[in-house]
Amino acid sequence: MNTATLRFLAPFVISGALLLLVANSVRGEADQLTAALTSADWRLIVPAIGFYFAGVWLRSARWGLLLPEHSVKTSTLFRALVVGFTVNNLLPLRMGEIARAYLLSRWCRIPYGATIASLVVERVLDGLSLAVLLLLSLTLVSAPGYLLVVGVLAAGGFLGGAIVLALAAWRAEMLTTLAGFFARRLPPRFEDVLMRVATSFARSLALVHDPARLVRLLGLSLLAWCFELGLFFVLLLSFKLPASYPLALLVGSAANFATLVPSSPGYVGTFDGVLINVLRDVAGIAAGQAAAYDVVVHAALFLPVVVVGTLVLWRSHVTIDQITHAPDRSAARTSGGGWQQAA
C-alpha cells in the first residue's frame, strides 16, 4: 500500500474508530435517544439554520476583505463558500478549498494564488476566533481542565500562525524567492504554475496587513462565529437541555476544533465524539440525549448547505469532476503554452 493510498484511507479509519467509540458510549440508551428526538421542538430547526447561514454570509463578507485587489460581490463569495462547504461534506481531503479557488477563477478571473492566500488567512482567523470564544466560555461555564488546555494550545498555535503570516506579509518578496528555489527543481509544466501562484499569494498577503483592515477582519470573524454557534444554542432549547449561550459557545467551539483532525467527509466521528463527550462532561447530559442532540446538530450543519451548494453547482453548470480535476487541467494548460485561468 503506497503513501497516497494510506493518506486517503487514514481519515476514514479515524472516523470509523471514533464512531465505534461513540456507539459504545450510547450502548443501552437507544430508548433515551429516541425519546429525546420525539420530544424535541422541531419548529426551532428553522431559526437554528437561519443563524448558521447568517454566519456564513458574514464569513463571505470577510472573504471579500481578504481579496482587496478584486471587487467581488458578497453574494458571489457566498455561493462559492457554500459550494466549498458542500464539497468538504461530500469528498475527502478538504477538496472544498480547491472548489472555492476554482469557482472564483471561473466566475471572477481571480488567480488561484490570491484565493489560496485568502483561505490561509481565513483559516488562521477562524482558529483564533474559536479559541477566543472557547476561552471566554470557560470563564462563564464550569468545565474540566482538559478543555482549558485545548483552548490555550489552540490559541497559541493559531497566534503563532498569525505571526508567521504577518512576517510573510512584511517580507513578501521572500516567498517568491523561496518558491523560485523549489520551482527550478520541478518539471517545466509545474514550474510556471508554482511561480504564478506564489507571486499572487505574496501580493495578496501584502495587501491585507493594514491595521484597520485587520481589525475589521477580526471583528467579522468573531461575529460570524457567534451567529454560527447560535445554531448550537437554539437546538439546546429545542431539546429542552440546560441551555445557555456560553455552553453553546463551549460545545460548538470544541466540536469545530475537532474538525481539524483528519476524518471522513462531513467530519463524521471526530465532530460527534467531541460534541457528545463535552456535553456529558460539562453539563452532565446523559449519553442518549447528547447523541440525539448531536445527530440533529450535525444534520442541520450538513443537509441544508449541501442542498444549497448542489443547487448553486447545478445553476452554474459546474460539476464535481471539473472541480476535482481543476489543478491538473491548469498544469496541462501550462505545458501547452501558457498558464490560463480555469475555463
* pLDDT classification of 31: cutoffs 50, 70, 90: confident
d(C-alpha 276, C-alpha 287), whole Å: 7
Question: What sign has the CA pseudo-torsion 257, 263, 267, 268?
Answer: negative
d(C-alpha 50, C-alpha 141), whole Å: 26
Q: What percent of the chain has pLDDT over 90?
A: 55
Contacts of 155 (CB under 8 A, 6+ apart): 128, 131, 132, 135
**pLDDT given for residue 188 in this prediction:** 74
In 3D, which of 133, 116, 7, 128 has the Cα closest to residue 63? 116
Q: Is the pLDDT of residue 254 over 70?
A: yes
Q: What is the pLDDT of residues 100-150, one digit of tens each?
A: 999 999 999 998 888 988 999 999 999 999 999 999 999 999 999 999 999
Mean pLDDT, the chain, rounded, equals 86
Which residue has better confidence, 92 or 24? 92
Lowest-pLDDT range of 4-18, 70-84, 282-296, 305-319? 4-18
In 3D, which of 106, 96, 113 has the Cα closest to residue 59? 96
In 3D, which of 343, 322, 318 has the Cα closest to residue 333? 343
Lowest-pLDDT range of 42-46, 106-110, 180-184, 253-257? 180-184
d(C-alpha 34, C-alpha 305), whole Å: 26
d(C-alpha 58, C-alpha 224), whole Å: 5
DSSP 109-129: ---HHHHHHHHHHHHHHHHHH
